[in-house]
Amino acid sequence: MSEIAAHSSKINRTFLKVDAKFPFCKGCGHHHITNAINAALVKLDLEPRRVNITSDIGCVGLVDTLFEGVHSFHTTHGRSTAFATGVEIADSILADSKLKNLVVIGDGGAMIGLLHLVNAAQMNVDVTVILYNNFLFGMTGGQNSSFSPLRFITATTPGGNIIPPIDMPAVLKGANAGFLARKTATDPDLADTIAEAIAHPGFALVEVLELCTEYAVRGNKIRGNKLEEVDPGSIAELGVLVNRRDRMEFGEAYKTKSVQPAPVVKSSGIEPRYQNTLEKRVGFVIAGTAGERVQFASYMLMQAAVLSGANATQKNDNPVTQGTGFSLSEIVLSRDEIYYTGIDMPDVIVAVSEDGVRELAAKGMFEKANADTLIICDNTLSLPKCSGKVVELPLRKRYMPAGAAFAGILTAVKSTSILPILAFQDIAAMQKKPEELLSIIEHVVGGI
Ligand code: SF4
Ligand SMILES: [Mg+2]
């Protein structure tokens, strides 16, 4: 009798439901592994409410339902480790870090969600994965998995598997996992190894080789207690393969050294010092070419509005290439708080290049304009047919392409009088090179 079995019988305790009826086929290795998990939990004498079992898809997805008093949840195929990682991080960083997170996953799930296992090992989250490896997809009809040994006969490899299996401990060793073991379901000390894995402070995985009696026996002539003979060439070493504690568990590392709370930066803020005359929410759409300071000019409009006591939002858009094509900003100004930043009907459109006109057209802005929309555009551009009051000016020629958007915005503000020009002067004066901006302001408004 193993140490665990002796311990369990002595304290006469179980984490399994008293009337738990294992739903697995006769002879299926899931019986052994699930019993070993129970024995390991008993050995560690954990409080059930401090245990969370996350199950994956497949016959293994029934395992968590057999336990009582523990937390459990059933997840999508291959993602159980990612879910458990999230639970563990929440517990270790936001709560008291007393939860023991177990994952029960089959070889099919491990194949589908391999990177989640690699990530969890890399992070060294305190998650223990029990990999029920029966070399095939059992629940769906016995198909080959990435863990099927060479020459293994499955529903999809009737002539024998020709692709070498993934060596999971080797992969996770490469991801710096702290505890890795490979056992067979009938190993008498399986529960001890699982208990060791659960007790390990950080990521641990126990791969347990087992037999799907429904699909693996036919054709493969194997026995559950002789799994190491399936293919000695493709089932590598058994036992505890890695046991190291030189890495800090993720939650501890997060709390103690990796991530310090960001220093509180006192916002320089903008204290209003002027009055706006906004009578309603006003939407500006400003469009030009990337690299011609369209979004910067729009930002100055937003800052001038805030300096004048208004609320303001800015949404920028440009192609993924950033430095080519159009550049566009949507600015909303309002006396009230702004909860919706979209512009369904533009009050002001500023168009300073062909790229900008094309994008405005693509966004349907000209169609959305109405008779009251003020459209300021460079006089070299031809606009699509639209409603609105169009003002054509030699913006690019007079203010250079880099000053055209700012001049267009100032023209609109001057025409509508919604913001004081003094606010723009103050904002311009705060920039690194204010002279050029101040000269545009002076030219557009004719001096103040
Ligand atoms: S189908 Fe295979 S893995 Fe599923 S319960 Fe039956 S023997 Fe076990
Ligand atoms: Mg399987």
Domains along the chain? 3-258 (3.40.50.970), 282-445 (3.40.920.10)
* Ligand 2 mean position, distance from CA 59 (Å): 8
pLDDT at 266: 58
Question: Tokens for 352?
Answer: 């300073």
Strands of the sheet with 179-184, listed across from one edge: 71-74, 51-55, 100-106, 127-133, 204-209, 179-184, 239-243
* Ligand 2 mean position, distance from CA 5 (Å): 26
Q: What percent of the chain has pLDDT over 70?
A: 93
The CA distance from 81 to 111, in Å, is 12
Nearest residue by C-alpha to atom 1 in ligand 1: 138
The CA distance from 315 to 334, in Å, is 15
- Residue 24 CA: nearest ligand 1 atom is 5
Give, for ligand 1, the residue of 139, 208, 209, 210 to mutate: max count of ligand atoms closer than 8 Å to Cβ: 139
pLDDT at 230: 73
pLDDT at 264: 60
The CA distance from 301 to 270, in Å, is 13
Model confidence at 9, pLDDT cuts 50, 70, 90, reads very low
* Ligand 1 mean position, distance from CA 35 (Å): 16
Rounded to the nearest 5 degrees, what angle is found at the Cα of 213, between the Cα atoms of 170 and 108? Answer: 40
* Ligand 1 mean position, distance from CA 200 (Å): 30
Pick from 70-74, 198-202, 221-225, 329-333: least confident: 221-225
Q: Which ligand is nearest to the CA of 132?
A: 2
Per-residue pLDDT reduced to its tens digit, 348-407: 999 999 999 999 999 999 999 999 999 999 999 999 999 999 999 999 999 999 999 999
Q: Which residue has the higher pLDDT, 423 or 232?
A: 423
- For residue 12, pLDDT over 90 is answered with no
* Ligand 1 mean position, distance from CA 136 (Å): 10
- Residue 211 CA: nearest ligand 1 atom is 7
- Residue 134 CA: nearest ligand 1 atom is 3
- For residue 338, pLDDT over 80 is answered with yes
Contact residues of ligand 1, CB 6 A cut-off = 24-25, 28, 30, 59, 134, 138-139, 212-215
Per-residue pLDDT reduced to its tens digit, 155-196: 999 999 999 999 999 999 999 999 999 999 999 999 999 999
* Averaged pLDDT for residues 254-274: 73
What mean pLDDT, rounded, does the chain reach? 92
Nearest residue by C-alpha to atom 6 in ligand 1: 25
pLDDT at 260: 60
Pick from 6-20, 58-72, 225-239, 279-293: least confident: 6-20
Model confidence at 206, pLDDT cuts 50, 70, 90, reads very high
Torsion, CA 247, CA 250, CA 251, CA 255, rounded to 10 = 70
Contact 196, 39 (CB under 8 A): no
Contact 204, 245 (CB under 8 A): no
Q: Which ligand is nearest to the CA of 207?
A: 2
pLDDT at 7: 40
- For residue 236, pLDDT over 80 is answered with no
- Residue 29 CA: nearest ligand 1 atom is 8
The CA distance from 61 to 106, in Å, is 9
- Residue 59 CA: nearest ligand 1 atom is 4
Q: Which ligand is nearest to the CA of 140?
A: 1
* Ligand 2 mean position, distance from CA 145 (Å): 7
* Averaged pLDDT for residues 282-297: 97
Nearest residue by C-alpha to atom 7 in ligand 1: 212
Tokens 């440009």 sit on residue:
318
Give, for ligand 1, the residue of 24, 31, 209, 211 to mutate: max count of ligand atoms closer than 8 Å to Cβ: 24
- For residue 10, pLDDT over 50 is answered with no
Per-residue pLDDT reduced to its tens digit, 91-106: 998 888 899 999 999 9
